[in-house]
Amino acid sequence: MAYSEKVMDHFANPRNVGEMSDADGIGEVGNSKCGDIMKMYIKVRDNIITDVSFKTFGCGAAIATSSMATELVKGKPIDEALKLTNKAVMEALDGLPPVKVHCSVLAEQAIKAALSDYYIKQGIDPETIVGKATECDES
């Protein structure tokens, strides 16, 4: 199993890593038993994700996909971020080994979980917009 150069770059120099004290939405997916947890923080102004950061417990691919997912939604309108797919994250990283595909799914879910949390805080039911969140998905 070998990671692409892009994966190694995002693993060794993760973008947007760290806590955000004034986040408008926080999402956490995965669990420690499965070996990966991703936590995403977003800041929203006028329906645009103005800032995003993450914290991840997991393997190299988990860290790299978190980093890439934050890059892909940063500065984007919410409706565009909602369209983020695990496939897009994988493609942006020049692919992942088959056993690591679930990490990209987790990254997509983490972004969506943060958006759900944002809607809840706005008093809006997120389910119709974001959909239901699933955990520890092995796809």
Number of residues that bind other proteins (CB under 8 A): 30
Rounded Cα distance between 60 and 57, Å, is 10
Select which of 8, 17, 26, 34 is catalytic: 34
- Shortest distance, CB of residue 116 to other proteins, whole angstroms? 17
The partner residues of 74 in beta bridges, in order of sequence, read none
* Structure-block tokens of residue 60: 């190299």
Among 5, 46, 79, 138, which residue interacts with other proteins (rule: CB under 8 A)? Answer: 138
- Shortest distance, CB of residue 81 to other proteins, whole angstroms? 20
Alpha helix (H) ranges present in the chain? Answer: 5-12, 60-73, 78-81, 86-92, 101-121, 127-130
Residue 104: HSE in the Cβ half-sphere, 13 Å Cα cutoff: 22
Among 6, 60, 76, 88, which residue interacts with other proteins (rule: CB under 8 A)? Answer: 60
- Shortest distance, CB of residue 36 to other proteins, whole angstroms? 7
Q: Which residue has the tokens 């239901």?
A: 132
> Any contact of residue 104 with other proteins (CB under 8 A)?
no
CB 115 within 8 Å of CB 78: yes
> Any contact of residue 133 with other proteins (CB under 8 A)?
no
> Any contact of residue 34 with other proteins (CB under 8 A)?
yes
Binding site for other proteins (CB under 8 A): 3, 8, 11-12, 14, 17-19, 28, 32-39, 54-63, 99-100, 138
